[in-house]
Amino acid sequence: MNVKVDEKVDEKVDKKIDEKEKVEEKEKVDEAIKRLLSDSKLGQQKKGELHNVFVYKFQVNNQQKLLAYSYNKNELILMSLGNHENFYRDLKKSL
């Protein structure tokens, strides 16, 4: 037996999957930020040009995400969020 899926239905399913992944990613990012607010030294401090930057790594949908930040006594400064590919190169350019 063959199954045929209408393109409109297929698009809706893809859209729901994408939206669900975005919601899950946002929740994971929010969790990571909460962890950093409670302990700002969780991330790894970088060296060289990025010596004032910390990077916290976490998983979203079996994919590693990196969150670059710096902090002082009163605030956590989020600098970048992304996958590892070109992350540090792009981070250096943004500073």
Mean pLDDT, contiguous 10-residue spans, the chain (95 residues): 41 60 84 88 92 92 89 84 88 84
Token duo for residue 40: 């700002």
**Residue spans of alpha helices (H) in the chain:** 7-38, 87-94
Are 25 and 60 in contact, with CB atoms under 8 Å apart? yes
pLDDT score, position 58: 93
**Nearest 5°: CA angle at 59, between 93 and 80?**
20
pLDDT score, position 15: 61
pLDDT score, position 44: 95
Q: In Å, what is the CA distance from 50 to each residue of 16, 56, 89?
A: 38, 14, 11
